[in-house]
């Protein structure tokens, strides 16, 4: 045996930046996270050439999944051209030679921070969500060891109590994004800081969603056709943001999640948050052809 059998020929950088052992660990952990939907699987989470908290968890998953044929879309807050989305997209294609796209329908893999695109994802697509805080119990229990015990016991009483207190105090559940949801009837998970608008898109979806928190070193998943139920009381139904009636001032799109843009006169204008949806709507309006796919929401309502 010689030293050379222990290693491999030198290369300046592994394909996809991560070395073989990092990828194998991620593969093993991804399988476990799919096998137990919504359950946080710990992983080593190697450092990558991006700061922690900037999508390193999602990036590690994407880098493990891609090959030179994988068409990659990256969005941040719904936008492909957001600076950090641009940075991540450029990095993935630089270290893995992947083609990129902004069109949701063209993408094989979509890495996203804080949004799920408005067009329905297909069975052959994978959605990778960046997760800042993987622990839905953190607001009621910051200690991770105790929180893990609570998950082990399916002890979600304090979660419910917190929601109940909000209703008593404010007349409604005050949770904004990251709405805690019960997965496969067993594990409460954070869907990552997507708006409430997007959570129903995970329920019994056709695509696989992998959620990865690089800094906190936890990975979890929602396989296709898996129940994802926001925690609600039977007499207080789940409410998404009241955006269904809003119209995008740029594209004229109505019935989707919007960004609110404060105006000088004190009023607000709105523009559609899924930027590529906005672009497609403008193209259709300007007679440049129809490229829009089916959407989860129709006329501002989540379709069954």
- Restricted to residues 108-127, the positions that interact with other proteins (CB under 8 A) are 113-115, 123
Q: Which residues, other chains included, contact 266 with Cβ-Cβ below 8 Å and sequence gap of 6+?
A: none
Pairing type for strands 228-230 and 181-183 reads: antiparallel
| Minimum CB distance to other proteins, residue 175 (Å) | 7
From 193, 200, 230, 255, residue interacting with other proteins (rule: CB under 8 A): 193
Exposure class string for 154-181: b at 16+ Cβ within 10 A, else e: eebeebeebbeeeeeeeeebeeebbbbb
82 binds other proteins (CB under 8 A): yes
| Minimum CB distance to other proteins, residue 161 (Å) | 18
| Minimum CB distance to other proteins, residue 299 (Å) | 19
> Which is nearer to other proteins, 52 or 292 (by Cβ)?
52
| Minimum CB distance to other proteins, residue 130 (Å) | 10
Q: Which residues, other chains included, contact 231 with Cβ-Cβ below 8 Å and sequence gap of 6+?
A: 156, 159, 160, 163, 179, 180, 181, 182, 188
Contact positions with other proteins (CB under 8 A) in 26-45: 27-37, 39, 41-45
225 binds other proteins (CB under 8 A): yes
Quick one: DSSP state of residue 181? E
- Residue at token pair 């997209």: 89
212 binds other proteins (CB under 8 A): no
| Minimum CB distance to other proteins, residue 224 (Å) | 6
Per-residue tokens: 195 = 């708006």
Other residues' Cβ atoms within 10 Å of the Cβ of residue 32:
15
From 54, 156, 296, 297, residue interacting with other proteins (rule: CB under 8 A): 54
| Minimum CB distance to other proteins, residue 75 (Å) | 10
Q: Which of 255, 249, 259, 257 is nearest to 282 (CA)?
A: 249
267 binds other proteins (CB under 8 A): no
Distance (Å, whole) CA 209 – CA 187: 16
Binding mask 149-188 for other proteins (x = CB under 8 A): x-xxx----------------xxxxxxxxx-----x-xx-
| Minimum CB distance to other proteins, residue 18 (Å) | 7
What percent of the residues of the chain are helix, what percent strand, and what percent coil, each to the nearest 5? 30, 20, 50
Local structure of 34: helix, strand or coil: helix
> Which is nearer to other proteins, 71 or 186 (by Cβ)?
186
| Minimum CB distance to other proteins, residue 19 (Å) | 5
Span interacting with other proteins, options 6-14, 157-165, 229-237, 293-301, rule CB under 8 A: 6-14
145 binds other proteins (CB under 8 A): yes
> Which is nearer to other proteins, 224 or 293 (by Cβ)?
224
Span interacting with other proteins, options 156-164, 229-237, 255-263, 289-297, rule CB under 8 A: 255-263
Q: Which of 296, 254, 291 is nearest to 271 (CA)?
A: 254
> Which is nearer to other proteins, 83 or 234 (by Cβ)?
83
Q: Which residues are registered as beta bridge partners of 247?
A: 254
């Amino acid at each position: 045996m010689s030293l050379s059998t222990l290693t491999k020929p030198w290369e300046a950088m592994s394909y996809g930046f991560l070395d073989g052992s990092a990828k194998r660990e991620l593969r093993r952990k991804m399988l476990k996270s799919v096998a137990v939907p919504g359950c946080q699987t710990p992983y080593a989470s190697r450092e990558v050439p991006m700061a922690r908290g900037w999508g390193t968890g999602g990036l590690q998953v994407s880098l493990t999944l891609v090959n030179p044929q994988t068409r990659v879309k990256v969005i941040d807050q719904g936008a492909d051209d957001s600076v950090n989305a641009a940075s991540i997209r450029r990095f993935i294609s630089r270290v893995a030679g992947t083609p990129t796209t902004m069109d949701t329908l063209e993408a094989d893999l979509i890495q996203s921070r804080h949004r799920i695109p408005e067009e329905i994802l297909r069975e052959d697509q994978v959605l990778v969500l960046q997760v800042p805080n993987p622990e839905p119990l953190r607001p009621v229990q910051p200690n991770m060891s105790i929180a893990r015990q609570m998950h082990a016991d399916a002890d979600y009483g304090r979660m419910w109590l917190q929601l109940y207190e909000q209703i008593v105090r404010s007349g409604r559940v005050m949770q904004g994004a990251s709405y805690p949801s019960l997965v496969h009837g067993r594990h409460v998970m954070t869907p990552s800081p997507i708006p409430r608008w997007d959570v129903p898109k995970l329920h019994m979806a056709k695509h696989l969603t992998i959620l990865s928190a690089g800094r906190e070193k936890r990975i979890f998943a929602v396989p296709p056709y898996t129940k994802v139920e926001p925690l609600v009381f039977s007499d207080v139904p789940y409410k998404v943001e009241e955006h269904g009636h809003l119209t995008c001032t740029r594209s004229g799109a109505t019935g989707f999640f919007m960004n609110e843009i404060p105006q000088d006169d004190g009023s607000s204008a709105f523009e559609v948050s899924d930027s590529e949806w906005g672009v497609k709507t403008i193209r259709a309006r300007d007679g440049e052809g129809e490229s829009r796919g089916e959407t989860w929401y129709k006329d501002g309502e989540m379709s069954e």
